Amino acid sequence: MANDPSARIELGSEQTAGGESYSVFVAGDYVIGRDESPSPETTIAPSLRDRIAAADVSVVNFEAPLVAADAEGVPKSGPVVSNHDAAGEAIAESSFDVCTLANNHVRDYGPEGVASTVDALEALGLETVGVGDTHDAAFDPIEVGGGGVSIGIVNVCEREFNIAEENDYGAAWLSDRRARETIQRAAERFDTVIAVVHAGVEYVPFPSLDLQRRLREFVDLGADLVVGHHPHVPQGWERYEGGMIFYSLGNFLFDAMTDSKNASWGLALEIRFEGPTLVAVDLVPTEVIDGVVHPLGQRRDRDDHLAYLERVSEIITDRALLEPYWQEIAVQLLYERYTNWLHTGVGTTLQRARADPNNSELQRPLWDLEARRREILTLLTVVRMESHRWTMATALAVLTGETEDQRTPKISEEARSLLSRASR
């Protein structure tokens, strides 16, 4: 695969770059939820482990915390997730070096769960990035590299129930001014900056226009490469102003989704440098078979999946083309997801309460946290997380005519077809 031209994106001339060769392997979301203890042999195929080991540094998104058996999850919407006790050992013994931790599950067991995860991973010799014991510390980059070349890794995520507080463990927030400042300072400090971003809408083929704007801004600020995950499915990529953006790698190994047709394959990257110059990115599509990650091609048509990603990338690269496609996706999501989530958050209780606002018996259950905490937390997530808010705003603006509807029947048909290849 390393020599397959169809799976390599050439970014510069190795002959003119100069300097020692260096490679960084980057994988997507990793959560081990099985009962049996994981090991390298039961999680990652030998040929893929060899590739991870051959890279100078390998990075994976360690999606869920390592906590004691009696740890209690925090009140939140969505599942509370933890990694198997041996997941850290399995990652380390598979030759990964760095765990990115800025994600939506890292604080599922509170700040104590973040601290125990950092301690456990670092005790195994793994570096961590994207979290800290204060809000400022969460943004600290780490340095990798060799041969006199320094590469800085910055890791941030969107806000759900996961962000660091001023003096408490948590993740670095994508929309905080410190994210932009960190990338700017990293560009001055390191030869190359890789920004790893956990963000986006789950189970869709494209980033929103707003997320694209934000990640392009990171390139403008000095990031040479932006690598995303969180949607659980691979999305496309684009070259932008001398940088590269990969919007979602999808899952690397997420045990709860190994039976999902669209969420059980993903994309890893092998990033190649000559000295400080990024010269190529090798695409490493993967698939999960019986709980083990393999190079894609055993059960799925590799050429078909690469062609799908290339088509998605064509659309992403042309922002004027992406807009009508994203409009169609956003409208579909409003109908299929957000109306249900909003109804869960407010429900018929709100309708009755509005009909008689002076009736205390009707008003009390509307915001009764004990009775409706789960539903209200769902509403909080939908209005607080950037990607959810951006998606709903796009759909409502299109449907009300506030924004010009640029969809055509042909675009809507293809957008829905592409969505069918990403939906859960």
How confident is the model over 93-140, as pLDDT tens digits? 999 999 999 999 999 999 999 999 999 999 999 999 999 999 999 999
Residue 146's pLDDT is what?
Answer: 78
Please check whether residue 174 lies inside any domain of the structure: yes
For residues 40 and 58, membership in a common domain is answered with yes
Give 6 or 275, the one with higher predicted confidence.
275
Identify the pLDDT of residue 141: 98
Q: With 0-12 CB in 10 A as exposed, 13-18 as middle and 19+ as buried, what is 322?
A: buried
Do 179 and 308 share a domain, yes or no?
A: yes
What confidence tens digit (pLDDT) does each residue in 165-179 have?
A: 999 999 999 999 999
C-alpha closest to that of 149 among 271, 25, 55, 21: 21
Residue 147 or residue 168, greater confidence: 168
Residue 207 has pLDDT above 70, yes or no: yes
CB 29 within 8 Å of CB 63: yes
**Do 158 and 85 share a domain, yes or no?**
yes
For helices 409-420 and 302-317, angle between their N-to-C axes, nearest 10 degrees: 130
The pLDDT of residue 145 is 86
The answer as to whether 1 is a domain residue is: no
Closest CA to 78 of 338, 389, 377: 377
Which residue intervals of 222-301 are DSSP H helices? none
Same domain, 119 and 240: yes
Residue 148 has pLDDT above 90, yes or no: no
Burial 85-97 (b: 16+ CB within 10 A, else e): eebbbbbbbbbbb
Instruction: Tell me the two tokens of residue 402.
Output: 């506030």
The beta-carbon contacts of 337-344 under 8 Å, at least 24 apart in sequence, are: 338/382, 338/388, 338/391, 338/392, 338/395, 341/378, 341/379, 341/382, 342/379, 342/382, 344/375, 344/378, 344/379
- 47 located within any domain: yes
Q: Comparing C-alpha atoms, which of 265, 253, 187 is closest to residue 226?
A: 187
Task: Report the first-to-last Cα separation within the chain, whole angstroms.
Answer: 28
Which range, of 245-249, 317-321, 373-377, averages the lowest pLDDT? 373-377
Output phi, psi for 368, to 5 deg: -75, 100
The answer to whether residue 68 is domain-embedded is yes
What is the pLDDT confidence band of residue 2, given thresholds at 50, 70 and 90? very low
Which helix or strand (DSSP H or E) is residue 142 part of? strand 142-146
Q: Does one domain contain both 175 and 286?
A: yes
Choose one of 297, 319, 341: the last residue of a domain. 319
Taking the alpha carbons of 226, 228, 234, 236 in that order, is the dihedral positive or negative? negative
- In total, the chain counts a number of residues equal to 424
Residues 173 and 266 in one domain: yes
Please report, rounded to a whole number, the percentage of residues in the chain having pLDDT higher than 90.
83
User: How high is the pLDDT of residue 342?
Assistant: 85
Tell me, what's the pLDDT at 240? 96
| Domain shared by 52 and 179, yes or no | yes
CA distances from 316 to 14, 82, 194, 246 (A): 27, 33, 20, 10
Q: Which domain holds residue 302?
A: 7-319
Q: Which of 61, 115, 122 is nearest to 254 (CA)?
A: 61
- Please name the residue ranges forming H helices in 192-333: 209-221, 302-317, 319-333
Residues 303, 376, single domain; the answer is no
Instruction: Specify whether 201 is located in the same domain as 311.
Output: yes
224 & 278 share domain: yes
The domain tally of the chain equals 2
Task: Give the chain's mean pLDDT.
Answer: 93
Last-in-domain residue among 302, 319, 336 = 319
Residue 210 lies in a domain: yes
Evaluate whether 187 touches 125 at the Cβ level (below 8 Å).
no
Cα angle, residue 313 at apex, residues 308 and 316 outer, rounded to 5°:
130
At residue 1, the pLDDT reads: 40
Single-letter residue type at 368: D
Residue 67 above 90 pLDDT? Answer: yes
Residue 249 lies in a domain: yes
CATH number, domain containing residue 128: 3.60.21.10
Residue 2 maps to a domain: no
Interval 225-229 mean pLDDT: 98
> pLDDT value at position 355?
65
- Those residues whose C-beta lies under 8 Å from the C-beta of residue 315, and which sit 6 or more positions away, are 206, 236, 321, 322, 325
Strand order of the β-sheet with 192-198 is 142-146, 149-157, 192-198, 225-229, 243-246, 237-240
Tally Cβ neighbours within 10 Å of residue 175. 14
pLDDT-derived band at 16 (thresholds 50, 70, 90) equals low
Whether 155 and 248 map to the same domain: the answer is yes
Helices (H), 55-105: 87-93
Residue 48 pLDDT greater than 60, yes or no: yes
Q: Are residues 206 and 272 in the same domain?
A: yes
Work out the angle between the directed axes of helices 386-400 and 209-221 (0-180°, nearest 10): 130
Mean pLDDT for 362-381 is 70
**270-274, 302-306, 353-357: which range is least confident on average?**
353-357
